[in-house]
Homo-oligomer: A and B are copies of this chain.
Amino acid sequence: MAAAAAAAALTPATPLRFKPYSTLRFLSFYSKNPITPRLFPPLPRRPVHFQSTFHRKRCFCSVISAALQSGEVKKTEFREKKVDEMGNKVGEFRKKVKIADIKGGPDEGLNRVGQTLVVMGWVRTFRAQSSVTFLEVNDGSSLSNMQCVMNSDAEGYDQVESGLVSTGASIWVQGTLVASQGSKQKVELKVEKVVLVGKSDPSYPIQKKRVSREFLRTKAHLRPRTNTFGAVARVRNALAYSTHKFFQENGFVWISSPIITASDCEGAGEQFCVTTLIPSSREAADSPVNAIPNTKDGLIDWSQDFFGKPAFLTVSGQLNAETYATALTDVYTFGPTFRAENSNTSRHLAEFWMIEPELAFADLNDDMACATAYLQYVVRHVLDNCKEDMEFFNTWIEKGVIDRLNDVAEKDFVQLTYTDAIELLLKANKNFEFPVKWGCDLQSEHERYITEKAFNGCPVIVRDYPKEIKAFYMRENDDGRTVGAMDMLVPRVGELIGGSQREERLDYLENRLDELKLSKESYWWYLDLRRYGSVPHAGFGLGFERLVQFATGVENIRDVIPFPRTPGSAEF
C-alpha cells in the first residue's frame, strides 16, 4: 500500500493518503506507556508524531497536553520521512468545556459532582488559610469563577506556595468536582494537580482593589479580565447574535454596506476623510505638507488619491441598504459607521456599530412593528441567556435594570404622533428647560418625560414629525407638513431607534432635493430606485452601543465597546 501511494503522489490524481502505520505505532506506544500528566513547564517540545492528531481526542489545549506528556517519547522516534507518508488528517475540533458549561446548568454543576475536570483560566483571587488554599479561577465564559480548593498534597502545590500562582496568572487545574460548603456556589473543584501556565508580573494593574472605569479605559487590553467588562462583552455578544437571529428568522438578508464611500449623497454629519495622499506608512508623523500632490491652483490633487476623488467613512448604510431592499425585499446591515463630531460626551463615539434594517413593501406601521418586535426579541434573549451577568448589572451597575428590561419585553409599545406628543408636553405640569412648540425637535428631557412619566416606563414611538426637522428621504404625509418618521423612546436612554418610511414617489423626492438645494445628479442611483419598480419601503437605524448601554445600564458609551474611538483617542 505504501509503495502504491508513493507512486501516486507524483501523478495528478492520487487518492487521499495517511501515514499507514503511524497510528498503530502511536496506539501501541501509549498502551504500554499510559499518559501521565507531568508538570507544565517547559512548554511544548512536541515529539514528531504529535503532528498527527487524528489518533487522539482533542483535549482542549493540546499544547498543554503535549507539554504534559513531553519527555515520554524517546528521541529515537525521529526519522526521515518519505513522500508517501506526507499528509496527516487534521484533528477533530470539539467545543471546550468551560466554567459556564460546568456551572451554568439548572443545578449549577451538581450534576457533575464526582467528575474529574480540567479548568484553564486566570486567577482572580488567591486565599490561603492554615491548611487549605482557595483559588478563584475565571475563564471568561461566565461571571462565575471556579473555586478551586487545594491542600499541600496537590501536585504542583510548590508553585502555589512559592507565590507564582498570583492574581492575573494563568493556570491549568485538574481535580474532582465536589459540592461546595460555601454559600456562593453549589460546586467547587478539589484540586489534584495545578500547573502554572503563565505567571503574572507583580505590576499587574488589575488587582483585587476596585479600580475606576476611567483608569480601565487606559488598560483596554486588560479590562475584559474584570467582572464588569467581561459581563459587558458577553451581553454585547448576546445582543449581536440575537440581532442576527431575529432578522434571519424573519427572512432578512444581511448586507454589508460600504465603509468607504466617495458617493456624493452622504453628508449627514461630519465625516472622516480617507486618503492615501498622506504617506500611508508609519512615517506619516513626519509628513511635510508640501509633499501632498496639488494642482496648479494649489488645491489638493484628488485625481492622485486612491479612489481618484475625495473619499469618506460612511455615516450610514441606509441608502445602500435601500438598493438591496428593492431587490431582495427585506435586508439589514450590521456594521461600523463613523462621525467626526468633536463630542466628548458619555453618549458619543467617533466609531460605532449600526443596525439598519430596510423593508420593502412596507410602511411606517410595518416599520414600527418590526422595530418593536426586534427590541423585544433581543431583550428577551439577553434576559434568558445572560442571567448571571444581568444580575451583576442589577446589583452593581443599575439597580432595577432587569425590571426595566422585563417591562420592555412584555409591555405593549405605544405609538403617538409628534403632534399629540407636543400637545401632551404642553399640557404637562412641568417646566422644561427647552420650551415646547410644534416644529421643535424633541430634546432628551422631553423624550424621557414621555416614556418615563407620561407612559410609565413603557417604550413610546413618536411618529409623523415635521418635515423641516427630518431628512430629505422621509416620506411626506398627506398633510404636506409632516413626514413618516418615527423615533422609539425608551426609559433612561431616550431615543434608541430612529426610522422612517422612505419617499418612494420620484416626483416628491426630486422636489424635496430641489427644496433643500441638493444635487439630483449626485443622487442618480438613489433616484433610480424610484424610477424602476419603486415600492413603498421603510427602515430604521439603531446604534448598537446605545443598545448595549440600554441593556446593561452602563452609563458611559466608552465602556460598552472594546476599543472606543473619541476625540484625541484611538489607542490600541
Give complex CA distance A455, B13 in Å.
7
Bitwise, A240-260 to B at CB < 8 A (1) or not (0) is 110010001111011111111
Q: Is A552 an interface residue (CB 8 A)?
A: no
Contact for A310 among B63, B236, B284, B413, CB less than 8 A: B284
Q: Which residues of chain A from 117 to 153 have any CB-CB distance to chain B below 8 Å in the complex? A: 120-123, 139-141
Contact between chains at A95 and B567 (CB < 8 Å): no
Chain B residues in 8 Å Cβ range of A335: 335-336
CB proximity of A77 to chain B, nearest CB, Å: 14
Segment of A108-116, A391-399, A522-530 in the binding face:
A522-530
Segment of A184-192, A300-308, A436-444, A509-517 in the binding face:
A300-308
Q: Which residues of chain A from 279 to 319 have any CB-CB distance to chain B below 8 Å in the complex? A: 279-282, 284-290, 292, 294, 297-300, 302, 306-313
Q: Is A263 an interface residue (CB 8 A)?
A: yes
Contact for A251 among B81, B141, B222, CB less than 8 A: B141
Contact for A62 among B366, B461, B529, CB less than 8 A: B366
Copy total for this chain: 2
Contact between chains at B273 and A284 (CB < 8 Å): yes
Contact between chains at B289 and A300 (CB < 8 Å): yes
Q: Is A328 an interface residue (CB 8 A)?
A: yes
- With most chain B CB atoms within 10 A of its CB, the pick from A168, A363, A461, A501 is A363
Contact between chains at B329 and A454 (CB < 8 Å): no
Give complex CA distance A63, B567 in Å.
43
Q: Is A194 an interface residue (CB 8 A)?
A: no
Contact between chains at B13 and A258 (CB < 8 Å): no
Q: Is A180 an interface residue (CB 8 A)?
A: no
Give complex CA distance A170, B329 in Å.
11
CB proximity of A470 to chain B, nearest CB, Å: 18
Give complex CA distance A259, B565 in Å.
9
A66-B363 contact, Cβ under 8 Å, with A90-B413, A335-B335: yes
Of all A-B residue pairs in the complex, the 10 with the closest CB atoms, nearest first, are A63-B363, A140-B328, A198-B534, A224-B327, A93-B373, A262-B570, A93-B369, A284-B310, A61-B361, A170-B533
